[in-house]
């Protein structure tokens, strides 16, 4: 039985406990820790380079607009070196609300990512050897670009049914081109309660036009129409999320359902990343529930 990767967020005042969770994940044989931008992905990765010894770790996903390529390359090279080659740098253009908060002007996503990676490569003679670079690639053109300029690709909240076809675009040998997907996950025998938690998680994503466009292309036109009407009316967005769509993009239910769900993604050659929530607690409780499934 192959374990999933695990997403961990180093929130203020709880950073030491998160490092301890990572160390426990390493002991249990989890293959990797994915570090989202929330809670400082690079800070957590720097700590993991020192506080763990065998588990892989990567940013999933760090936005390109808040850090210059020069600064990013130097820090990424440092973590790569100190971590003994266990680190990978997952990059993306983030989302419009995040870009606005940074007070920067975003350009065309494909051009911006291409230029950023090129700048990282150009600076490598000064920064030191870079880690493998992974690109957030929800859509086909970005996946194609990842194959051209990077060593892997990342998805978040992706439609499994759509990815079955999309992953066929990957022309490289799967052993050298890394693929990972972040999956909102809740483990509970109360399936309705677990799905309710995932629906709340997905509110932030259905509000974003780029995600709605992606899910439309994946075949969820009625759901996205309902979401847009609900946004306009100021109603409860969770009511617009069908079970069909939710089950395709998230995992909720007892341990057997969760394990089978991860294996479906692995069958596509994609490393599943468990982004854990719980019906009865926070991150520590949710991760403990995942540990129980695989211990």
Residue 45: give its domain's CATH number: 3.20.20.30
* Count of structural domains within the chain: 1
Owner of token pair 């993604």? 265
Indicate whether 102 pLDDT > 60: no
> Rounded to an integer, what distance in angstroms lies between the CA atom of residue 138 and that of residue 133?
16
* Secondary structure of 231-264 as H, E, C letters: HHHCCCHHHHCCHHHHHHHCEEECHHHHHHHHHH
Q: For residue 169, name the pLDDT band (cuts at 50, 70, 90).
A: very high
For residue 256 the two structure tokens come to 């057997």
Q: For residue 122, name the pLDDT band (cuts at 50, 70, 90).
A: very high
Amino acid 1: pLDDT: 74
3-state SS, residue 3: coil
Indicate whether 103 pLDDT > 70: no
CB-based contact 95:157 (threshold 8 Å): no
Indicate whether 265 pLDDT > 80: yes
For residue 283 the two structure tokens come to 């991150």
Phi/psi zone of residue 273: left (φ > 0), alpha (ψ -120 to 50 degrees), beta? beta
Q: For residue 97, name the pLDDT band (cuts at 50, 70, 90).
A: low
CB-based contact 57:48 (threshold 8 Å): yes
Range of the domain at 208: 5-294
Q: For residue 172, name the pLDDT band (cuts at 50, 70, 90).
A: low
Q: Is the pTM of this model over 0.75?
A: yes
Amino acid 95: pLDDT: 63
- Quick one: 258 exposed, middle or buried, by C-beta within 10 A (0-12, 13-18, 19+)? buried
> Rounded to an integer, what distance in angstroms lies between the CA atom of residue 97 and that of residue 225?
21
- Quick one: 255 exposed, middle or buried, by C-beta within 10 A (0-12, 13-18, 19+)? middle
């Amino acid at each position: 039985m192959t374990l999933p990767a695990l997403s961990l967020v180093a929130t203020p005042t709880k950073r030491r406990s998160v490092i301890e969770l990572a160390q426990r994940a390493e002991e249990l044989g989890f293959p990797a820790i994915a570090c989202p931008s929330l809670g400082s992905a690079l800070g957590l990765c720097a700590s993991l380079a020192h506080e763990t010894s065998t588990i892989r770790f990567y940013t999933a996903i760090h936005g390109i607009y808040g850090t210059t390529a020069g600064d990013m390359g130097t820090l990424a090279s440092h973590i790569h070196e100190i971590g003994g080659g266990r680190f990978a740098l997952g990059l993306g253009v983030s989302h419009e609300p995040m870009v606005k908060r940074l007070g920067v002007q975003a350009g065309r996503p494909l051009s911006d990512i291409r230029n950023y990676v090129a700048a990282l490569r150009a600076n490598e003679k000064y920064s030191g050897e870079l880690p493998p670079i992974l690109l957030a690639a929800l859509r086909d053109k970005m996946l194609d670009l990842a194959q051209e300029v990077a060593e892997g690709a990342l998805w978040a909240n992706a439609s499994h049914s759509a990815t079955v076809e999309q992953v066929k675009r990957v022309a490289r040998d799967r052993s050298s081109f890394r693929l990972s997907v972040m999956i909102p996950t809740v483990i509970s025998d109360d399936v309705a309660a677990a799905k309710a938690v995932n629906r709340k998680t997905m509110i932030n994503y259905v509000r974003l036009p780029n995600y709605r466009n992606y899910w439309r292309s994946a075949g969820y036109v009625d759901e996205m129409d309902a979401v847009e009407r609900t946004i306009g009316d100021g109603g409860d967005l969770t009511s617009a999320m069908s079970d069909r769509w939710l089950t395709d993009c998230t995992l909720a239910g007892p341990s057997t359902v969760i394990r089978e769900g991860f294996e479906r993604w692995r069958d596509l050659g994609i490393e599943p990343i468990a982004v854990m929530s719980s019906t009865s607690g926070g991150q520590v409780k949710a991760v403990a529930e995942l540990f129980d499934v695989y211990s």
